[in-house]
Amino acid sequence: MVINSTHKADLKSWVEAANEPMCSFSIQNLPYGVFNSNENLEKRIGVAIGDHVLDLNMIEKAGLLPTPKPAFNKQSLNTFMAMGPKIWSKTRKIISQELSNQASDFRGFSNVLIPLKDINLFMPFMVSDYTDFYASREHATNVGTMFRGADNALMPNWLHMPIGYNGRASTVVVSGTDVKRPRGQIKLPGLDAPVFQPSQKLDIELEMGAVVGTCSDIGSSVSVDQAQEMIFGYVLLNDWSARDIQVWEYQPLGPFLGKAFATTISPWIVTTEALEPFRVYGPSQNPAPLDYLKQAAPHNYDIELEVHLQSTIISKTNYQNMYWSSAQQLAHHSSGGCAMRTGDLLGSGTISGSNPKSMGSLLELTWNGENPIELDDGTTRTFLKDGDTITLSGYAQGDGYRIGFGYSTGSIKPPSSRP
């Protein structure tokens, strides 16, 4: 990707709300989502612009977009994502030009712009597979210190490769979906055997999700730079975690049911191209990675992130501090010959900063429940209670414009009755 006319800071749209400096959906952004409206229940694909969504199905049917076959009358973005970076970029350029041109052909269509307040949003893509990584050095150090001590916080392999595990695509859900408290085996203090009960240490993980657009073949691998080109875009991601289930089950093979019950993503995919002006170098990597993981170009992003528990901001951090970039994660994922598919989702792992208020999980924020946090209403939390609502938000701030991700929100509901 390169900086081009779609990134100009002084670019303005005839959709006036998009020109407000704090508007998440500026003309420099143009994120994709799947929606319907009260007037038209058909699910289709659109782009958020200001306080509206642009109906791309209508524009495509008129022959005004460069897609080689219909892609925006679908219930997911997978068809469009599979078309690759050249089509992605051409489509973005046309949409940008038309939304900034007062004489735009788009303005001739009635109902091509629908107020965001009048739409419903759905899963933006069909998740092929889901892999979650463990790529923040601060998070890995905090958790390692908590359970193994400061002298053995990082395992020997952590500084040499992105550590990950295969999650469950079946339980990736879109923002606004309720999350039921999971049940599982839990080893309580003082008991010789585990019990089966609802989790009492229900947690969140503030993450970004990289959405893979193009494929790689089984038996092949991709470089870090090739991986960068394969990533269509990014979403906010909350990998809900039952810590008391996880701590009993994870040895020796790693996370399983403690993380398999729900993963919530935001409904708008912010494209890699929209984020191009915000690429930055991550932390210095020492020891130097093996050759297949070396990156000559910056592959991290300057994205401000927040976690709200109800109305209280409990964490603020930035995506740029991740030790392993999403491009490195994808390159490593394919390095043994694993085929990557359109719609694969790569979770960054919990994003934590270097100060106590920048940690991306309650496990860290409360130090496994030892230090409760106080909410604005005067109540305290160590882990989540039924009825709690968690909202993730994020944006990249340009010169007079903003690239916003919207929200990833979920509310905790009581567990289902046992069969």
- Please give the positions annotated as active site: 139
Q: Cα(388)–Cα(372) distance, rounded to whole angstroms?
A: 15
Q: Cα(104)–Cα(135) distance, rounded to whole angstroms?
A: 44
What the block records as the tokens of 242 is 């039952």
What the block records as the tokens of 241 is 């975690």
Among 41, 95, 35, 33, CA closest to 65? 95
Among 339, 123, 43, 388, CA closest to 212? 339
Among 368, 389, 252, CA closest to 314? 389
What the block records as the tokens of 78 is 């997978």
Q: What is the CA radius of gyration of the chain?
A: 21
b vs e for 383-402, b when ≥16 Cβ sit within 10 Å of the residue's Cβ? Answer: bbeeebebbbbbbbebeebb
Q: Cα(272)–Cα(113) distance, rounded to whole angstroms?
A: 24
Q: Are strands 195-198 and 304-309 parallel, antiparallel or unpaired?
A: unpaired
